[in-house]
Amino acid sequence: MADWTLPSQKGWSLLHDVALLYLTCMHGPDAEIDVAESVVVKRLLEQHSEGAGVEDVYNEVMLMYVGNAGGEMIATSIAALGEALSQGQRFDLLREFSEIASADGLVFPSEVNLISEIASRWGLPGPADSTAGGAN
């Protein structure tokens, strides 16, 4: 099982990768950060990190996301998690992305498309795939 908080050589960890994808699911598709989504993101990060440094990771990722390298880092994070996590862990993350997308009470087609794209890159069925079990 992957250590979510172990930093890489550049100080970036799997937790950073996960946080970046959470933020992408939270903001990217509808260009809004809803309070309910933010609460879910922080709760999920705390579960993965056992509470260690969640605010720091969240803030570092937020700066990366709004910076020029955000788009490039999203692709890198998708690839890194795809390599580091087991299939079961990747399925769990897809469910968590769906939870974030639905936290504000609305699920936009662009949110479904984003999650489906991540699933596709990981070789997994996504929420738009009828075999995915009806993820939101």
Query: Is position 7 within any domain?
Result: no
User: Is it the case that residue 11 has pLDDT exceeding 80?
Assistant: no
Query: Is position 91 within any domain?
Result: yes
CATH number at residue 87: 1.10.3680
Task: Give residue-wise pLDDT tens across range 97-108.
Answer: 999 999 988 888
Element housing 83 (H / E):
helix 70-84
Q: What pLDDT does 22 receive?
A: 94
User: d(Cα 89, Cα 109) in Å, to the nearest integer?
Assistant: 24
Mean pLDDT to the nearest integer, 47-66: 82
pLDDT above 90 covers a percentage of the chain that reads: 42
3-state class (DSSP) for residue 118: helix
Query: Is position 59 within any domain?
Result: yes
Listed in sequence order, the residues at least 6 apart from 12 whose beta carbon sits closer than 8 Å to its beta carbon are: none
Higher pLDDT, 128 or 7: 128
Query: Is position 68 within any domain?
Result: yes
Task: Give residue-wise pLDDT tens across range 65-90.
Answer: 877 666 788 899 999 999 999 999 99
Q: What pLDDT does 134 receive?
A: 41
Q: What pLDDT does 12 receive?
A: 82
Q: What average pLDDT does the structure give for the chain? A: 82
Higher pLDDT, 61 or 93: 93
Number of domains in the chain: 1
User: What is the torsional sign of CA 8, 70, 86, 90?
Assistant: positive
Query: Is position 4 within any domain?
Result: no
Looking at residue 132, what DSSP letter applies? G
User: d(Cα 130, Cα 127) in Å, to the nearest integer?
Assistant: 7
User: What is the torsional sign of CA 49, 14, 60, 136?
Assistant: negative
User: Is it the case that residue 130 has pLDDT exceeding 60?
Assistant: no
Domain containing 95 equals 17-130
Query: Is position 135 within any domain?
Result: no
